[in-house]
Structure 1
């Protein structure tokens, strides 16, 4: 363990969901018709490693386009935010984009990543602590879709900036997304801002390819959800009995990702038996794609307004700086 990682672990606020929460969510989802499992449980240590590998696949345009856009947009963001910010990031992951943001802002005083994978959180916070020793690291291991009490920096920030890159907002339904944005509005306060990444509507073939990479990394990432459940709640999913399937549904402007049963089978979870027919599809993730106007309407429903909007030159991806309306 590096000294920075040890410091991050010492400062950690650990609100990791207990196994009972994961079990309850799995039982609830498997009892629905059609069956579904929550995508937030993709991100154990192995899931986080696989997602990092996804971002390096040639079909997965999102990360490359967003990073280039962020680089171009950073001077304007720094001007809009000013000095002494407290950066709060939801679903921080490996922290690669965070590095660029902290480097581009003017003397931020603190960084609070909220991440469900403890191992990923400590590793990324440790790396950032080494790179930015003047920024107080206040990691929180938690499910950001639920209310999360945030630590208070030792130095008073001038403004709070909520950072939510990577189009993760698109993984939620309209009502869920409004709820997350409304929670951000509370965190940022009257004078704060939020910087949000959104994947934009475009050629469906391009979108589908990003979620069905030829190397099968996304398929392995999706199936890892079942491996995690087997390990943490004692289910007996046979990973060979399911296959990954992601399709763009044009009328709902979203990718829908499923695990499809390859045969007739039963799965045991905590004494409950769930039957799967051959070809039965279990929903595991949405990935909504937005229009400029559609996202502005979504933000308005949460009491937020678009202060600045930037898209890449091909209008594949966008960054939105939001303020309280």
Structure 2
């Protein structure tokens, strides 16, 4: 496989031509594990670490390489390499890191298409798909909804209809890895030089789907649990997989907790609610009992789902909290920076 088949294009070539590091070799991150990386140049595979200078200058977590990133390396012996430079990203799918820390975690980078995989069995969740859609639009990649396990669903048309009204313009594909129905509809996204990431909760069928798209079993698959129909956790880390056809897939672990990172696409995700809100009597209507509230009227008349409106409010609260925490973190970071500068000056003049 050559570099172009691995996803290299004019976006990265233009940067490479302007960076005065021609003695270094471009490579793409296939896997990352506790500070070490598996990279591919398209011809060779290396295990790599960050150079001391790179590590020292990386101010935040998002300054470090993620799966899908392009970097510049100096190859060594025994297929070892050192990472010296991180290319600017053309897209990135991010979330707030799990826990109380306010920090961005990049799930995958430099992706053209995101397959948002959701099973059509008991684990079907429009609210989860709404969340994934917001984050996919923010990433800069093109979202595609893939409804898996169609062989386990008896009301497919109803579920597709529910998603069509909330994901206007987003392609929706119904597939079954068990019967291979609908899989051919995904092949046009997997052409040479393109990168597609599969995102979804545990048990959505991502690993089985990858095996089918690859043409052989390369991912471990486990049966769904009895009772609730949910799949067992299979994928444990993000991994870039090069397809025989020349396209690139990125598999990701199931994420049931997907906290929003900054997004400007709330209006795009909920255009119906935004449109109703414009018709409310009061400009600052909170849609919580005010007179002549068009949003509440739409819910009462069955035009707007209560579930969808509650999800919309939840996203607003989540983003507002994130903004407050981000501003607080920025203030603390600035304080630490000036404290360090003052300390350096004091030591210099001793």
Relative to total residues, which structure has the larger helix share, 1 or 2? 1
Q: Using structure 2 for the length normalisation, give the TM-score.
A: 0.26
Q: Using structure 1 for the length normalisation, give the TM-score.
A: 0.27
Higher-RCO chain (CA-CA 8 Å, sequence separation at least 6): 1
